[in-house]
Amino acid sequence: MCGIIGYLGDKKASEILLRGLKRLEYRGYDSCGIGVVEGDRLIVKKGVGKIDEVSKSENFLEVDGKVGIGHSRWATHGGITKENAHPHTDCKEELAVVHNGIISNYRELKEELIKRGHIFRSQTDTEVIPHLIEEEIRRLNKSHISQEEYIEAVKRAIKRLEGTYALLILNKNFPDLLLGVRNENPLLLGVKGEECFLGSDISAFLEWTKDAILLEEGDMVILQKGGNGVDYSIYNLREERDVSSEREKIKVDWDIETAEKGGYEHFMLKEIMEEPEVIKNSARVSKEEIEELARCIRDYSRVYIVGMGTSLHAGMVGEYWFSKLNKLVIPCDASEFLVKGIVDEDTLVIGITQSGETYDTIKAIRYAKSKGAKTATVVNVLGSTATRISDITVMMGAGIEISVCATKTYLSQLMILYRLFIEYGKIVGRDMEIFEREIERIPGYIQEVIEKRESIKKVAESLKAKNYLFISKGINLPNALEGALKFKEITYLHAEGMSSGFLKHGTISLIDENMDTVALVPPSTSELFRSVVSNIEEIKARNGKVVAISPVEIEVVDHLIKIPEVLEEVSPFLYAPACQLLAYYKAVELGRDVDKPRGLAKSVTVE
**Average pLDDT value for residue range 502-530:** 88
Please report, rounded to a whole number, the percentage of residues in the chain having pLDDT higher than 70: 99
* Interatomic CA distance for residues 499 and 44, integer angstroms: 57
Residues β-bridged to residue 329? 303
Tens-place pLDDT, residues 224-242: 998 788 999 999 999 999 9
pLDDT higher than threshold 60 for residue 605? no
pLDDT higher than threshold 90 for residue 72? yes
Class level of CATH domain 264-451: alpha beta
**Average pLDDT value for residue range 170-185:** 95
Omega within 30 of 0 (cis) for the link into 87: yes
Band the pLDDT of 573: cuts 50, 70, 90: very high
**Residue type for position 556:** V
* Among candidate residues 65, 54, 116, 61, the one with its CA nearest the CA of residue 91: 116
Tens-place pLDDT, residues 519-566: 999 988 888 999 999 999 999 988 899 999 999 999 899 999 999 999
Are residues 463 and 586 in contact, defined by beta-carbon separation less than 8 angstroms?
yes
* Interatomic CA distance for residues 296 and 208, integer angstroms: 52
Band the pLDDT of 602: cuts 50, 70, 90: low
E strand or H helix at 259: helix 256-260
Q: What is the pLDDT of residue 575?
A: 98
- Catalytic residue selected from 82, 452, 596, 602: 602
* 53 Cβ contact partners less than 8 Å away, ≥ 6 residues apart: 47
E strand or H helix at 497: strand 494-499
- Catalytic residue selected from 2, 332, 405, 579: 2
List, as one string, the DSSP characters of 27-55. G--SEEEEEEEETTEEEEEEEES-HHHHH
Tens-place pLDDT, residues 149-176: 999 999 999 999 999 899 999 999 999 9
Mean pLDDT computed over every residue of the chain: 94
Band the pLDDT of 607: cuts 50, 70, 90: low
Measure Cα distances from 118 to 42, 87, 110, 258 in Å. 19, 17, 9, 44
**Sheet containing 195-199: order of strands:** 41-48, 31-38, 67-73, 3-8, 195-199, 188-192, 211-214, 249-251
Band the pLDDT of 468: cuts 50, 70, 90: very high
A 10 A CB-CB count for 357 gives 17
* Among candidate residues 383, 406, 381, 384, the one with its CA nearest the CA of residue 395: 381
Numbered ranges of CATH 3.60.20.10 in the chain: 3-102+163-259
pLDDT higher than threshold 70 for residue 604? no
Q: What are the backbone angles phi and psi of residue 431, rounded to the nearest 5°?
A: -80, 110
Q: In three state form, how does the secondary structure of 394-455 look?
A: EECCCCCCCCCCCCHHHHHHHHHHHHHHHHHHHHCCCCCHHHHHHHHHHHHHHHHHHCCHHH
E strand or H helix at 109: helix 106-115
Helix (H, G, I), strand (E, B) or coil at 332: strand
**Average pLDDT value for residue range 571-592:** 97
Q: What is the pLDDT of residue 381?
A: 84
602 assigned to active site:
yes
Per mean pLDDT, which range of 2-16, 114-128, 499-513, 578-592 is the poorest? 499-513
Band the pLDDT of 1: cuts 50, 70, 90: low
Are residues 350 and 330 in contact, defined by beta-carbon separation less than 8 angstroms?
no
* Among candidate residues 200, 148, 252, the one with its CA nearest the CA of residue 20: 200
- 508 or 158: whose pLDDT is higher? 158
- CATH tag for 452-600 (out of 3.40.190.150, 3.40.50.10490, 3.40.390.10, 3.40.50.300): 3.40.50.10490
**Average pLDDT value for residue range 193-216:** 92
**Average pLDDT value for residue range 340-356:** 94
A 10 A CB-CB count for 242 gives 12
Q: What are the backbone angles phi and psi of residue 211, rounded to the nearest 5°?
A: -95, 120
pLDDT higher than threshold 80 for residue 285? yes
Q: What is the pLDDT of residue 74?
A: 85
Numbered ranges of CATH 3.40.50.10490 in the chain: 264-451, 452-600
Q: What are the backbone angles phi and psi of residue 73, rounded to the nearest 5°?
A: -100, 135
For CA atoms 146, 149, 153, 155, give the dihedral sign.
positive
- CATH tag for 3-102+163-259 (out of 3.40.50.720, 3.30.565.10, 3.60.20.10, 1.10.3720.10): 3.60.20.10
Per mean pLDDT, which range of 12-16, 152-156, 262-266, 466-470 is the poorest? 262-266
A 10 A CB-CB count for 246 gives 11
**Average pLDDT value for residue range 117-122:** 97
Helix (H, G, I), strand (E, B) or coil at 348: strand
- 294 or 257: whose pLDDT is higher? 294
As a residue count, the chain comes to: 607
pLDDT higher than threshold 80 for residue 346? yes
**Roughly how many angstroms between the first and final C-alpha of the chain, as a whole number?**
29
A 10 A CB-CB count for 143 gives 5
* Interatomic CA distance for residues 347 and 321, integer angstroms: 19
Band the pLDDT of 270: cuts 50, 70, 90: very high
Q: What is the pLDDT of residue 56?
A: 96
Helix (H, G, I), strand (E, B) or coil at 174: coil
Q: What is the pLDDT of residue 603?
A: 59
* Interatomic CA distance for residues 322 and 16, integer angstroms: 50
* Among candidate residues 261, 239, 242, the one with its CA nearest the CA of residue 252: 261
| Burial class of residue 490, CB neighbours in 10 A (0-12, 13-18, 19+) | buried
pLDDT higher than threshold 80 for residue 600? no
The pTM of this model reads 0.85
**Residue type for position 260:** E
* 106 Cβ contact partners less than 8 Å away, ≥ 6 residues apart: 77, 125, 128, 163
Are residues 84 and 47 in contact, defined by beta-carbon separation less than 8 angstroms?
no
* Among candidate residues 473, 458, 485, 494, the one with its CA nearest the CA of residue 579: 485
